[in-house]
């Protein structure tokens, strides 16, 4: 069990970092920021600005047509 600090709100994040791999994503319980594990040694975390929908749906009839 390791501890890290949320790059967004500074809250301590507790996660099973030993079970994570680089580029795995965790979520801050305080600010719900999605944080990607960039490196384990030294531990580096980076906030990920995630899309509203994490799933890449095959049907692209999104309502947000103006995004692209
Ligand atoms: Zn946070």
- Could you give the number of structural domains in the chain? 1
How would DSSP label each residue in 27-52? E-TTT--EEEEEEETTEEEEEE---S
8 Cα: distance to centroid of ligand 1 (angstroms): 5
28 Cα: distance to centroid of ligand 1 (angstroms): 5
pLDDT tens, position by position, 53-63:
656 566 666 67
Structure-model confidence comparison of residues 29 and 65, the more confident one: 29
pLDDT band at 46 (very low <50, low <70, confident <90, very high): very high
Tell me, yes or no, whether 24 lies in a domain: yes
Tell me, yes or no, whether 42 lies in a domain: yes
Beta carbons of 23 and 16 less than 8 angstroms apart: no
64 Cα: distance to centroid of ligand 1 (angstroms): 28
pLDDT tens, position by position, 2-26:
678 899 999 998 888 888 999 999 9
21 Cα: distance to centroid of ligand 1 (angstroms): 20
In whole angstroms, give the CA distance from residue 26 to residue 14.
Answer: 10
Residue 25 sits in a domain of what CATH number?
2.20.28.160
32 Cα: distance to centroid of ligand 1 (angstroms): 6
Q: Quote the pLDDT of residue 68.
A: 62
């Amino acid at each position: 069990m390791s501890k890290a600090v949320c790059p967004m709100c500074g809250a301590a994040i507790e996660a099973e970092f030993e079970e994570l791999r680089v580029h795995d994503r965790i979520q801050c319980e305080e600010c719900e920021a999605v944080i990607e594990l960039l490196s384990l040694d030294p531990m580096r975390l980076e906030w990920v600005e995630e899309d509203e929908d994490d799933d890449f749906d095959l049907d692209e009839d999104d309502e947000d047509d103006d995004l692209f």
